[in-house]
């Protein structure tokens, strides 16, 4: 268990800059999720912590020690890969025991540690099998078992759930969360799925184009996005963006107005913003109403299932509580006072 | 599920496989049948008459110390060729796999020797090691070593092994490189995080995962050393000195066409036929249940 800190981390591949300076301090036992669209540099950031990529400039510290020049094996970390990266020619037991064997751990201790990890992950019945005889979820568990048995100070997860089907993903997400809580190991988790980020993270880092746009607790990020990108990326369905002018906002510098679907209300009274109802999606507990505004942009309203359904093709006005709106300047930065 | 095309009639499928059958029959079954037939006779030196001797040719061969020696020579030769060519190829492939810049040039240059015909390769090596004018021989002489593969059986064997293995390295290199590149990078990275240094990784992860390629190459190289090295041996040593480089396939030629003992030559061909048949069975059996990871 250890703290991890990144200081002004930069990464370039040749002349291409991938990471433009990221700073973060991770506390001992914290679960940090790095989330962002593909190509934003989130995996590269993780691989630099792992030692699989060199750091162009900046400092990576694990447990207070600078590890920039240490080999992956000397950093006291364990990593779970997207494709699991199990050793295909070894049994589940050998897969989990590999690191311990290399470290020269005593045989009975290896057996004990692998067995306890297998119990924790419900893999006891599969220890003799090879990876190809396991299902995706089981392989994922073996990969986690391999990380656990070495008792590292930091866990690194590189999109560990993206190869699983939707149902299994939800289940494994819970298991990872429970496991991390129980073991209390500092974890860094990379994903492109904002739901995973919201549910797993103690704090999350939203990456955009090699920059950490925002670092904070999930609900705080959700409620108070620092940039237009974060507002659009976190939350599903995403935040609606309106032109500030058309919404009659007069704060200087404000170009775009963001408003989350659940904060929008349909009204039949005259309103500065109105649109045509395209279609409604009734999901049971809630209904999503999609409208097209006169400037051809699309807006989604999320309303309770008991609210009346507007007919398709009719026009409807939109209102919202001004305290819920978010204003962004031309560069996409927040330009109103974030509430609290 | 495998998709199978089914034909209703009999004539069309028969017609479609006919060219293959004809080629196989003319160029394989007929000569093989002739060899088996001839191995039961002893013809006179002028080819005017043949005397039936049953399995006499085989009995004679198995009792012949030269033929048994040729078996040992073949075994030594093919093991050396296989080990040398595969060992060097694997080493080069591991280096090429680590290379990021310029790997294309490196690969292309390594593939060139494969394009050189065995007999030409033999002549090239012969020039370098020629006892009077060879460059390498001259340097060895400067270093105080008197190279003479014409008289020294061990040196002759060494030379034909090197000449045969040389062209083969390219072929093996290609397969090893492809094999190495098909190992997922993340598996290697996982092993690195698990604490395995390069050599440990190679021993415990890379080499086992490469075993399908290695096994395939092993069989292919043995077959090569058995049969396709005729040109090299013919140009460099002609089986000498004192038959120290006479491998089985060379003995078929020298007994049959130099010694004019066509019956014995045919019997030797039949024995080789059986050996290559067995090797093919091994290979096919293996490919049938190829390990899938």
Output the DSSP codes for B101-149: TTHHHHHHHHHGGGGS-HHHHHHHHHHHH-TTT-HHHHHHHHTT----T
- Which of A52, A88, A98 faces B194 most closely, judged by CB atoms? A98
pLDDT greater than 70 at residue A337: no
CATH code of B217's domain: 1.10.3720.10
**Domain annotation covers residue B106:** yes
Chain A: nearest CA to B98, how far in angstroms? 14
Please tell me if residue B184 touches chain A, with a CB cutoff of 8 Å: yes
Please tell me if residue A248 touches chain B, with a CB cutoff of 8 Å: no
pLDDT, tens digit, 9 for 90 and up, residues B256-279:
888 878 888 889 999 988 988 888
pLDDT number for residue B242: 83
pLDDT band at B292 (very low <50, low <70, confident <90, very high): very low
Chain B: nearest CA to A126, how far in angstroms? 17
Residue A88 and residue B190: Cβ atoms within 8 Å? no
pLDDT band at A206 (very low <50, low <70, confident <90, very high): very high
**Assigned token pair, B192:** 């690195």
- Do the Cβ atoms of B269 and B255 come closer than 8 Å? no
pLDDT greater than 70 at residue B287: no
Structural domain for B179, as ranges:
64-288
Which residues in chain A touch residue B197, judged by CB atoms under 8 angstroms apart?
A: 73
pLDDT, tens digit, 9 for 90 and up, residues B145-158:
888 888 888 889 99
pLDDT, tens digit, 9 for 90 and up, residues A234-246:
988 889 998 877 7
pLDDT band at B293 (very low <50, low <70, confident <90, very high): very low
pLDDT, tens digit, 9 for 90 and up, residues A109-123:
999 999 999 988 888
Percentage of chain A exceeding pLDDT 90: 35
**Domain annotation covers residue B43:** no
pLDDT number for residue A231: 92
**Domain annotation covers residue B25:** no
Three-class SS of residue B94? helix
pLDDT number for residue B232: 87
**Domain annotation covers residue B215:** yes
**Domain annotation covers residue B54:** no
Distance separating alpha carbons of residues A10 and A339, to the nearest angstrom: 32
- Which of A73, A87, A132 faces B195 most closely, judged by CB atoms? A73
pLDDT greater than 70 at residue B142: yes
As a whole number of Å, the CA-based R_g of chain A is 24
**Domains plus CATH for chain A?**
4-230 (3.40.50.300), 237-328 (2.40.50.140)
Among chain B residues, the shortest Cα distance to A94 is held by B204
pLDDT band at B44 (very low <50, low <70, confident <90, very high): confident
pLDDT number for residue B2: 56
> Which of B191, B192, B195 should be substituted to probe chain A, the one whose Cβ sees the most A Cβ atoms within 10 Å?
B195
pLDDT band at B290 (very low <50, low <70, confident <90, very high): low
pLDDT number for residue B109: 85
Three-class SS of residue B53? coil
Residue A85 and residue B292: Cβ atoms within 8 Å? no
pLDDT number for residue B18: 93
Please tell me if residue A70 touches chain B, with a CB cutoff of 8 Å: no
Query: Where do runs of H (alpha helix) occur along chain A?
Result: 42-50, 92-103, 107-120, 136-149, 166-183, 194-200, 218-223, 228-233
What is the value of ipTM here, to two decimals? 0.82
**Domain annotation covers residue B271:** yes
Which residues in chain B touch residue A43, judged by CB atoms under 8 angstroms apart?
A: none
pLDDT greater than 80 at residue B283: no
pLDDT band at A340 (very low <50, low <70, confident <90, very high): very low
**Domain annotation covers residue B191:** yes
Which residues in chain B touch residue A86, judged by CB atoms under 8 angstroms apart?
A: 187, 190
CB pairs under 8 A between A and B: 61
Please tell me if residue A110 touches chain B, with a CB cutoff of 8 Å: no
**pLDDT, mean of residues B225-247:** 86
The structure's pTM equals 0.80
Q: Which residue, among A184, A176, A180, A179, has the nearest Cα to A160 in the 3D structure?
A: A176
Which residues in chain B touch residue A151, judged by CB atoms under 8 angstroms apart?
A: none
Chain A residues 175-204 with CB within 8 Å of chain B: none
Which residues in chain A touch residue B205, judged by CB atoms under 8 angstroms apart?
A: 87
Which residues in chain B touch residue A99, judged by CB atoms under 8 angstroms apart?
A: 193-195
Counting the structural domains of chain B, the total is 1
**Domain annotation covers residue B156:** yes
pLDDT greater than 70 at residue B203: yes
pLDDT greater than 60 at residue A1: yes
């Amino acid at each position: 268990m250890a703290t991890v800190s990144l200081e002004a981390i930069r990464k370039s591949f040749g002349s291409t800059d991938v990471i433009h300076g990221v700073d973060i301090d991770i506390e001992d036992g914290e679960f940090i999720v790095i989330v962002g669209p593909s190509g934003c540099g989130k995996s590269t950031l993780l691989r630099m912590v792992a030692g699989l990529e060199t750091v162009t400039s900046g400092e990576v510290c694990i447990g207070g020690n600078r590890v920039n020049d240490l080999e992956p094996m000397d950093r006291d970390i364990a990593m779970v890969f997207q494709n699991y990266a199990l050793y295909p020619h070894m049994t589940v037991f050998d897969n989990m025991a590999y690191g311990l064997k290399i470290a020269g751990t005593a045989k009975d201790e290896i057996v004990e540690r692998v067995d306890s990890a297998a119990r924790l992950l419900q893999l006891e019945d599969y220890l003799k099998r090879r990876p190809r005889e396991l299902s995706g979820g089981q392989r994922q568990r073996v990969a986690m078992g391999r990380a656990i048995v070495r008792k590292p100070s930091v866990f690194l997860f590189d999109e560990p759930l993206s190869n699983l089907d939707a149902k299994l993903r939800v289940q494994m997400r819970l298991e990872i969360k429970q496991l991390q809580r129980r073991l209390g190991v500092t974890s860094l988790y990379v994903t492109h799925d904002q739901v995973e980020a919201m549910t797993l993270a103690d704090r999350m880092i939203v990456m955009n184009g090699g920059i950490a746009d925002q670092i904070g607790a999930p609900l705080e990020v959700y409620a108070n996005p620092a940039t237009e990108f974060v507002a659009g990326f976190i939350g599903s369905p995403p935040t609606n963006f309106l032109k500030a002018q058309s919404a009659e906002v007069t704060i200087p510098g404000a170009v775009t107005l963001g408003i989350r679907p659940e904060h929008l209300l349909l009204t039949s009274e005259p309103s500065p913003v109105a649109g045509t109802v395209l279609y409604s999606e009734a999901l049971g507990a809630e209904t999503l109403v999609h409208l097209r505004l006169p400037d051809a942009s699309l807006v989604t309203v999320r309303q309770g299932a008991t609210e009346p359904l507007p007919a398709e093709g009719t026009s409807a006005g939109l209102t919202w509580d001004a305290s819920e709106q978010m204003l962004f300047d031309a560069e996409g930065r927040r330009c109103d006072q974030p509430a609290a | 599920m495998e998709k199978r095309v089914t034909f209703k009639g009999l004539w069309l499928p028969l017609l479609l496989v006919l060219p293959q059958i004809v080629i196989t029959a003319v160029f394989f079954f007929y000569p093989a049948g002739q060899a088996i037939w001839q191995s039961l006779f002893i013809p006179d030196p002028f080819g005017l008459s043949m005397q039936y001797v049953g399995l006499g040719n085989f009995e004679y061969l198995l009792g012949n110390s030269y033929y048994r020696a040729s078996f040992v020579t073949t075994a030594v030769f093919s093991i050396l060729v296989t080990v040398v060519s595969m060992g060097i190829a694997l080493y080069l492939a591991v280096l090429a796999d680590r290379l990021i810049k310029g790997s294309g040039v490196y690969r292309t240059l390594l593939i060139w020797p494969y394009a050189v015909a065995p007999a030409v390769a033999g002549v090239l090596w012969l020039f370098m090691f020629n006892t009077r004018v060879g460059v390498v021989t001259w340097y060895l002489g400067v270093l105080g070593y008197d190279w003479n593969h014409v008289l020294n059986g061990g040196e002759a064997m060494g030379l034909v092994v090197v000449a045969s293995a040389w062209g083969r390295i390219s072929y093996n290199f290609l397969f090893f490189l492809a094999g190495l590149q098909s190992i997922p990078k993340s598996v290697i990275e996982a092993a690195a995080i698990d604490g395995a240094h390069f050599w440990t990784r190679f021993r415990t992860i890379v080499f086992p995962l490469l075993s399908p390629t290695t096994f395939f190459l092993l069989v292919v190289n043995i077959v090569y050393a058995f049969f396709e090295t005729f040109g090299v041996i013919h140009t460099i040593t002609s089986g000498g000195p004192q038959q120290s480089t006479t491998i089985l396939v060379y003995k078929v030629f020298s007994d049959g066409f130099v010694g004019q003992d066509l019956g014995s030559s045919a019997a030797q061909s039949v024995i080789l036929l059986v050996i290559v048949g067995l090797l093919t069975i091994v290979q096919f059996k293996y490919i049938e249940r190829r390990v899938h990871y």
